[in-house]
Amino acid sequence: MIEGLKFREIDGERLIVAVVCDENKNVLMVAFMNEEALKKTLETGYMHYYSTSRKKLWKKGEESGNYQKLIKVYADCDKDCLLFIVKQHGNACHEGYYSCFHYKLENGKFVLTEEYYK
């Protein structure tokens, strides 16, 4: 695998945080990868993640058609987080929004908004 990457113990699995942005720098989603998910992503050029709830690898868009074509990969200084730039097909969020970040904190509560990525 890639030398120097630091996976953490997250919900009982060895995972690394994956931040996913489009080409316009909108943060689309954050998910986790195990080594296999990262390998599949780099091999196929399409984003794969590890689901902590279903406890298995999944290819983004496999069911929804909203797959993500990998463009570039960056890592942070600690090599414990990856930043993926992707071409998003359709919406990133399973709730039908372009980005998963469609809640904004206002007066102590999260309210629905799409202002961040509009």
DSSP label of 79: S
Contact characters 22-51, its own copies, x per CB under 8 A: --xxxx-xx-----------x---------
To the question of whether residue 22 is assigned a binding role by annotation, the answer is: no
Of positions 43, 62, 94, 118, contacts its own copies by CB under 8 A: 94
d(C-alpha 50, C-alpha 56), whole Å: 6
68 CB contacts (<8 Å, ≥6 apart)?
Answer: 20, 28, 46, 47, 60, 61, 84, 86, 87, 88, 89, 92
Contacting positions for its own copies (CB under 8 A): 2-4, 8-12, 17, 19, 21, 24-27, 29-30, 42, 52, 72-79, 81, 83, 85, 93-95, 97, 100-105, 108-110, 113, 116
